[in-house]
């Protein structure tokens, strides 16, 4: 598809999402247009879920996106301030046309963005619709609609927690002491809802959602952002630590000594767990996962398949190969029973 190479949208339409500096690259009017284009692009005429993270301008941008969707006659379910994986959940659970999440994940506070999905939480990326949405915005090519859509609000957090718990047998969990660093991101608002039903003594670190990131950027792949959690673990008595990214869809596990487990090791551990439950199943490992992940799958009697890096490829391949689980070295983990979407909290 030929695109205007000088378009100001070139800087914000990335491979898997929209992301840019608020006020210059990403404005309410731009987001409104993106909402209009997304509403036109989605084929199913069912409601669309919209959520947002804790950044100072996320609620305003969510309203702009919703305005665009409504303008195109689309009904919207506003699920409020959530983690990105809760958008995927809402779209799958309630059989919606698609969803959009206002977040810039682990980027610094001056950034924001939009993640999209289609029905059944299927990915929207450069090769699966994102360029069409961009083109409609560039050309201001929106459908003429006679009647605006409707907007309703829904709290999905209780349903989400029950869904997360469905992946485990809580009665078999051993009492543990863990430290959890939410990085002032959205996991801090959701993780406490799990605590009453799991036998873990949890030390909460930076659970107050704050999109200015006053303690450290919520990117657990950067070693400097793990220092505070490692300091807490060094006090002793802990079994493990967990660090989340800003929108809560990625998690990094640390052992009792504060050593982070790589995405390859986590993929191996989680693959073993799911292959115990579903013997002989297929597990996907992305192209930069180490051989240890494939060896672990084979040792557990499973079938490992290497897939391209990037969530849109992984989600498509999970459906293609009927995979029970997929892991990325970057700390994203995908689950068949989560509409093939990734989730830091489930992991």
What is the pLDDT at residue 4?
43
As assigned by CATH, the class of the 8-156 domain is: alpha beta
Reply yes or no on whether 105 is catalytic: yes
What's the pLDDT score for residue 216? 97
Q: Vertex 251, ends 66 and 174: CA angle to 5°?
A: 120
Distances (CA, A) of 325 to 164, 165, 189: 15, 17, 26
Is this model's pTM higher than 0.75 or not? yes
Query: What is the per-residue pLDDT for 89?
Result: 98
CB atoms within 10 A of CB 279: 10
Predicted pLDDT at 319: 96
Topology of domain 263-342 in CATH is Alpha-D-Glucose-1,6-Bisphosphate; Chain A, domain 3 (3.40.120)
Angle at 250 between CA 86 and CA 196, to 5 degrees: 60
Rounded CA separation 51/49 (Å):
7
Query: What pLDDT was estimated at residue 2?
Result: 44
Half-sphere exposure of 323 (CA within 13 A, CB side): 28
The rounded percent of the chain whose pLDDT value lies above 70 is 98
- CATH 3.40.120.10 occupies which residues in the chain? 8-156, 168-255, 263-342
Q: Does domain 168-255 have CATH number 3.30.70.920?
A: no
- pLDDT surpasses 50 at 255: yes
Q: Which of 64, 84, 105, 304 is catalytic?
A: 105
Q: Kind and range of the H or E element at 251?
A: strand 251-255
Query: Which DSSP string corresponds to 293-316?
Result: HHHHHHHTT-EEEEE-SSHHHHHH
pLDDT digits (tens, 9 = 90+) for 53-110: 999 999 999 999 999 999 999 999 999 999 999 999 999 999 999 999 999 998 888 9
Three-state SS sequence of 3-52 = CCCCCHHHHCECCCCEEEEECCCECHHHHHHHHHHHHHHCCCCCCEEEEE
The owner of tokens 């999440």 is 101
Q: Which two tokens stand for residue 115?
A: 């993640």
6 pLDDT more than 50: yes
Inform me whether the pLDDT recorded for 127 exceeds 50: yes
């Amino acid at each position: 598809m030929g695109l205007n190479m000088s378009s100001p949208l070139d800087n914000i339409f990335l491979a898997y999402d929209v992301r840019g500096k608020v006020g210059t690259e990403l404005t309410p009017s731009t987001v409104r247009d993106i909402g209009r284009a997304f509403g036109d692009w989605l084929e199913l005429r069912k409601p669309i879920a919209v959520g947002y993270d804790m950044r100072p301008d996320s609620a305003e941008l969510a309203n702009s996106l919703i305005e665009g969707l409504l303008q195109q006659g689309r009904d919207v379910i506003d699920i409020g301030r959530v983690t990105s994986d809760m958008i995927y959940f809402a779209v799958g659970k309630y059989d919606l046309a698609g969803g959009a999440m206002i977040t810039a994940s682990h980027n610094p506070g001056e950034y924001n963005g939009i993640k999209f999905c289609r029905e059944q939480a299927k990915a929207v990326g450069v090769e699966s619709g994102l360029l069409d949405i961009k083109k409609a915005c560039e050309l201001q090519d929106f459908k003429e609609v006679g009647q605006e859509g409707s907007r309703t609000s829904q709290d999905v957090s209780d349903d989400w927690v029950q869904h997360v718990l469905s992946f485990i047998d809580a009665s078999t969990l051993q009492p543990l002491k863990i430290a959890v660093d939410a990085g002032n991101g959205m996991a801090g608002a959701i993780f406490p809802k799990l605590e009453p039903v799991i036998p873990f003594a949890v030390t909460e670190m930076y659970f107050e959602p704050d999109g200015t990131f006053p303690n450290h950027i919520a990117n657990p792949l950067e070693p400097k952002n793990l220092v505070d959690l490692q300091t807490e673990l060094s006090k002793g008595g802990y079994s493990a630590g967990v660090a989340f990214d800003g929108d809560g869809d990625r998690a990094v596990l640390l052992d009792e000594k504060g050593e982070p487990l790589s995405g390859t090791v986590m993929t191996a551990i989680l693959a073993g767990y799911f292959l115990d439950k579903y013997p002989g199943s297929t597990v996907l490992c992305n192209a930069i996962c180490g051989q240890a992940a494939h060896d672990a799958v084979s040792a557990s009697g499973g079938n490992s398949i290497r897939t391209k890096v990037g969530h849109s490829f992984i989600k498509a391949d999970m459906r293609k190969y009927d995979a029970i689980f997929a892991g990325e070295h970057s700390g994203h983990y995908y689950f068949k029973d989560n509409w093939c979407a990734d989730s830091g909290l489930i992991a």
